[in-house]
Chain A
Amino acid sequence: MSARLWRLWALVPLLVLVGVVSAFVAGGKSIVSLVGTSPPPADTFQVRRVEFRPGEIRLKLTNPQREALRLSIVTVDDAVVPFDTDGPRTLRRLGSTTVVVPYHWVEDDPIAFGLTAASGVETVHAVAAAVETPAPTGRGFLGYALIGFLVGIVPVALGLAWLPSLRHISGRWLAAFMALTAGLLTFLAFDALNEALTRQAALPPGIGGFGLVVLGVTVSYLGLTWLGDRLSRRSERAAGAVVPGPVLALLVAVGIGLHNLSEGLAIGSSFALGELTLGTFLIVGFMVHNITEGLGIAAPAAEGGGRVGVRRLALLAFIAGFPAMAGTWIGGYLTNDIVGVLFFSIAVGAAAQVVVEVTRYVRRRAPGGLASGHVVGGFLAGITVMWATGLLAG
């Protein structure tokens, strides 16, 4: 046969698969009955969001199971209540609806919801304290912006201010600070991975949260690799050489920015859903935590030896810090659990990619290479500092 026909042969296994699947579907039930009967569906709803508004509560529900699920009765604190839905009450697989309950809820009191399916199975969802969900207002918008500014831009900018000092230290110590950058980014990658995995576990099983995490990590890793490549070419980088310092600083800024985006989203959504007490201490904690991120950008910026203008520094601070503001807005007003998982996954890939770039850089440029005491110490210091300051924000 010709090569062309052999290529067409690739379709044959697919066609056979379709045939086998059809045959199984046609007679599948009888096969199941040979080994027993399947248990009845769980008939529980997944409560994905609860909003408290004046005189009204809104619950977003999803049907996580294969079988259709009908919402028949809603109770609030063990009392049957009238309710409305924004669509049919029978939810197909992964179908969602928003239940609107007119209700005079009590501020700061615990409250529990019961969602009874047609089969009588009740899904209970408890909220520790009823707090009004913020509606988009100018003041609120400004407030979230301020929070994002304080936990994002301010500490990064302050960390960048270490740049002149970094310029005047020995190569050994600069390598140590570069390694520190890699260490803190490693910490951020693990931190974001933990968040992404925890959040995906709370998604309805049918959405395939784990796959979303893998996809998000991979796409952002490849995306940042592509970005680093392009930026380097523009600065006349020789093929195969390491990314030059200023470009590395930019990549670090992007990686940190993507992490801050998801961090801001987490702060905004937790606060909006009444799960977070956004006290002064917490904001101070985030500021101390994130000042290290500025240092992480400053270290590669100091490496190249060339001058870095104030405007460029401001741009780097903006790239790394502004996403925290954007994140709080998104989290505060339109948070969605899938978006949260994706954002954290993207942060994982970005941080990991930058760790790889920084490590390559340190290996080539650092006196003594990766195994030197300064590099190992700097790396461990980066992780330790992030852990210790993270305790403040915890």
Chain B
Amino acid sequence: MLLTMKRTITRRRFLGAAAPLVLAGAPLAGLAAGVAGATGTEPDPHAGHTPSSYPGHATMIGAGVPSPAGPHEHDALLYPPPALPHEPGRLRTYDIVASDRELEIIDGVTFAAWTYNGTVPGPVIRATEDDLLRVSFHNAGSHPHTIHFHGIHPANMDGVFEIVDPGGSFTYEFPAKPYGMHLYHCHAAPLKKHIHKGLYGAFIIDPPAPRPPALELVMVMHGYDTDGDGANNFYAVNGPAFLYAKHPIRVKRGELVRIFLANLTEFDLINSFHLHGEMFRYYPTGTGTAYEYTDTVMLCQGQRGIIEVEFTHPGRFMFHAHQTEFTELGWMGYFEVEA
């Protein structure tokens, strides 16, 4: 709830804030019970279920009732720009500015982030195969940075040797290929520091033959080492911890949902995605037609893929990392499936 009010509150201002945020104990229990019950129109086999006072997952997000996703500033990271039809040689331009920014990444905790365009993760870059991609990069941060794209491109567009000093600029230009789900991140040294501070994002290249229409979502899995000890304190998808637990993602029953999934978690060896109440088709890297039918996928850092799913049942379904520690430190959310 605080997240939606003041996302960019500074540390100093925060320390001075007088009104304490006090969570009441009693409403939490009711909330847990409310989430446990089905919210759809199907007959509820647990109609006689006695609400437990046991604090469930819902209590982790605080006393606020989850509000199904409305417009908020992270929507641009969840909903990618639309795919464009195949037109070889078409110019696609993006402006990316690296800057230092204090982000509130979980209630009342700030993270001194290095960002692309002010958010962690950075903006979604999307092109269709054979588009000419032109990314104008300006470094407004306090350290040297680059953008390193995954995919096929010339060596001098790889963002490894052409370091962009603070105040400097660089234009990355190359034909977008191959189609699939890719990613980009800073490749300045020390690499670990530049990635965990937040310089990464999703990079989608659409195939010449359009994918079937779907509700398209992007999920970049990542973590935050807030105290600089080389281990993540909190985990998230697309920004603040527990974001989609506070704001469940609305989808329609039977509708095709396509999730562009990437793992950019530093420090931890792997991350994973697990969906409740449904099975999905997982296309590794999104570069082919072969898929696995599963409800859990595991990705190492830099690994990514495309998930396609249609929900059979209405109601609220959880999705989260199946490393349970990550789940309970922020990497969890809900789908609100409407009948």
Task: Give chain A's interface residues, CB within 8 Å of chain B.
Answer: 55, 67-68, 70, 72-73, 75, 78-85, 87-90, 100, 102-104, 114, 116-122
The answer to whether residues A83 and B11 also contact, given A70-B108, A90-B17, A118-B109 and a CB cut-off of 8 A, is no
Interface check B14, CB cutoff 8 A? yes
* Complex interface bits, B89-127 against A, C-beta within 8 A gives 1, otherwise 0: 000000000000000011111111000000000000000
Q: How far is the CB of B1 from chain A (nearest CB, A)?
A: 12
Select one of B18, B54, B62, B109 contacting A82, CB under 8 A. B62
| Min CB gap A56→B, angstroms | 9
Give A121's nearest chain B residue, CB to CB. Answer: B227
Contact A88 B20 (CB under 8 A): yes
* A118 & B55 in contact (Cβ 8 Å cutoff): no
**Chain B residues, CB < 8 A from A73:** 106-109, 234
Report B216-264 residues with CB < 8 Å from chain A CB. Answer: 224, 226-227, 233-234, 241-242
Bound-complex Cα distance A89 to B242 (A): 21
Expressed in whole angstroms, the minimum distance between the Cβ of A70 and any Cβ of chain B is: 6
B26, chain A: closest CB distance, angstroms: 10
Known contacts: A73-B108, A119-B11, A119-B110. The answer to whether A78 contacts B20 by CB under 8 A is: no
Q: How many interface residues does chain B have, given as a range?
A: 35 or more
Q: Is B285 an interface residue (CB 8 A)?
A: no
B290 within 8 A of A: no
Q: Top 7 nearest A-B pairs by Cβ distance?
A: A120-B226, A72-B108, A79-B328, A121-B227, A72-B109, A82-B59, A80-B60
**Is there an interface contact between B23 and A122, defined as CB atoms closer than 8 Å?**
no
- List A contacts of B22 (CB < 8 A): 84-85, 89
Q: Which residues of B contact A121 (CB under 8 A)?
A: 226-227
Which residues of B have CB within 8 Å of A87?
Answer: 20
Contacting pair B329 A80 (CB below 8 A): yes
Question: Residues of B with Cβ closer than 8 Å to A?
Answer: 11, 14-15, 17-18, 20-25, 28, 53-55, 59-60, 62-63, 105-112, 224, 226-227, 233-234, 241-242, 325, 328-330
Q: Which residues of B contact A100 (CB under 8 A)?
A: 25
Question: B60, A81: Cβ atoms under 8 Å?
Answer: yes
**Counting chain B CB atoms within 10 Å of each CB, which of A114, A120, A121 scores highest?**
A120
Given A85-B20, A102-B28: A79 and B59 interface contact (C-beta under 8 Å): no
- When the two chains form their complex, are residues A102 and B55 in contact, meaning their CB atoms are under 8 A apart? yes
- With A102-B25, A116-B226, A120-B226 in contact, is A78–B329 under 8 Å at CB? yes
CB–CB A90/B15 < 8 A:
yes
* Distance of A70 Cα from B12 Cα, bound (Å): 11
Q: Are A79 and B20 in contact (CB under 8 A)?
A: no
The answer to whether A80 touches B330 (Cβ under 8 A) is yes
How many Å lie between the Cα of A80 and that of B15 in the bound state? 21
Q: How far is the CA of A83 from the CA of B107 in the complex (A)?
A: 12
* CB nearest neighbor in A for B9: A118
Chain A residue nearest to B59 (CB atoms) is A82
